[in-house]
A and B are shown apart, each in its own frame.
Chain A
Amino acid sequence: MWLWFHKLGSPKYFYDLSGKFLPWFGWLTLILMLVGTYWGLVLAPADYQQGDSYRIIYVHVPAAWMSLFVYMVMATAGAVGLIWKMKMADVVASCSAPLGAAFTFLALITGSLWGKPMWGTYWVWDARLTSELILLFLYLGFMGLEAAIDDKRTAANACAVLALVGVVNIPIIHYSVEWWNTLHQGSTVARMDKPAMDTNMLIPLLLMWLGFMFYYGTTLFMRARNEVLHRERDTTWVKDMVTES
């Protein structure tokens, strides 16, 4: 386990391994998303109250889950980078930030598009919406700080500290705005008893979520491989690879 962990920290090993995984991840993304979209948009029954417009959850909910998941990945990678000084962790954190920001933005946009016909407004200062917006600001702050520091290593460490401070803040923001004001509906999937959702609606949602996960994996690997080549451009293995091809 530890050996594997250390090996993964080596850019060359990561580059080779991710190259093997990448096509699998790509195809899985495509298949899961196609099946999920077809099931969600065509096969799943319409909602008895909202009609067909509820179907936006097949994009909205996975995007919102991903926005939090990516932040946790980013913060964990940041902590690993700070503690064990692993180069790859820095790369993963820095490549995750724009993806997480994109997921957050997607969740906000799809939510406001759904809000217009359902709530009669594009935006309300509700708990979920506000904390999601602040999450977007945290991502943008992370990216801004990273862009402002020239030295990659220093930038990665500074961003890691910021991401970890943000982790402490996320639950606080979430609950503070929840007590302050709320309109967004409660959770229907992650409950202790059984989900308050028809199985025929739930399965495509979970498929889409898996699709989003693999999409994140695919794009993360693609970005990280690029970044690794860029950062390691002076090493022999990159030079060898370029001259070979």
Chain B
Amino acid sequence: MSETSLRSAFFTVLKRDLTLAYRTRTEMFNPLLFFIIVISLFPLAVSPDPKVLQSLAPGVIWVAALLATLLSLDSMFRSDFDDGALEQMLLSVHPVSVIVLGKVLAHWMVTGIPLLVLSPLLAVLMHMPTDSIPALMITLALGGPILSLVGAIGVALTVGLRRGGVLLSLLILPLYIPVLIFAANAVSNAAAGLPIAGQLYFLGALLALALTLAPIATAAALRISLR
């Protein structure tokens, strides 16, 4: 183990998690289906009027993406915790934060990217103007990794608990609020033809902050949960 480099440890974890996700493909689709169903509820519940949907769309798509991510988070450490693999990872010679980063990246590739790919379709369903669709995709590309990174802290804190699901949402949703505000605001501005660079810079700054600090916090939380 000591002979593997940091880089190869990172990629081993990434590859392993992606393989595991590929072997249980059906589970992968559940958050996506949830994302689509939640969004399709709004035209039915609020109003099918294109004008109303258009004004709701950025917020609704973002809230749905946020909830879909939240649902998928539990799988990040759950099976590894149950079969003891997580303990082995903590015992490895490499920094836990790097291993965590590999797992988070795998999680984002499995849930974040499909959401990103699906989002233009849903934007069309919600009658969003075509000009704002690139903005939606950029915000999802910048914001999605933040959701996975910050979510990992919450999962790491609750992984040892029997019923951590509801608690997880209570812990994580307040932390998601800045991302939601900037992202939904950027998409609305794009729809209104206003500049969105400011919001995107902020999302980028939040991403840089989450990328550097969240793995450390997650590693600390995992050590506490597994004591």
Contacts and interface: CB of A to CB of B under 8 A. Distances in A.
B84 interface: no
Q: Chain A: interface residue count, which band? A: 20 to 34
Contact of A172 (B153, B163, B164, B206): B206
B217 interface: yes
Interface residues of B, number: 29
Contacts, number: 69
Interface stretch (A32-40, A95-103, A141-149): A141-149
B173 to A, nearest CB: 7
Interface stretch (B2-10, B12-20, B72-80, B175-183): B175-183
B161 interface: yes
B170 A164 contact: no
B226 to A, nearest CB: 10
A143 to B, nearest CB: 10
Contact of A158 (B174, B177, B213, B221): B221
B46 to A, nearest CB: 18
A170 B213 CA distance: 15
A165 B217 contact: yes
Interface in A109-151: 134, 137-138, 140-141, 144-145, 148-149
A145 B206 CA distance: 25
Dominant secondary structure of chain B at its interface with chain A: helix
Given A141-B171, A169-B178, A176-B182, A148 B220 contact: no
Max chain A Cβ within 10 angstroms of own Cβ: one of B177, B225, B227:
B177
Contacts of A173: 174, 177-178
A176 B177 contact: yes
Contacts of A158: 157, 221, 224-225
A166 interface: yes
Contacts of A134: 174, 177
Interface string A152-195: 00100110011011101100110011001000000000000000
Nearest to B221: A161
Contact of A168 (B164, B182, B209, B220): B209
Contact of A161 (B157, B163, B182): B157
Given A154-B227, A165-B153, A176-B178, A145 B209 contact: no
Contacts of B150: 165
Contact of A148 (B158, B173, B178, B224): B158
What are the nearest 7 A-B pairs in CB distance? A137-B174, A157-B224, A176-B178, A141-B171, A172-B178, A176-B181, A141-B170
Given A145-B171, A161-B153, A173-B177, 7 more contacts: A137-B170, A137-B173, A145-B158, A161-B220, A162-B157, A164-B217, A180-B185
Interface of B: 150, 153, 157-158, 160-161, 163-164, 167, 170-171, 173-175, 177-178, 181-182, 185, 202, 206, 209, 213, 217, 220-221, 224-225, 227
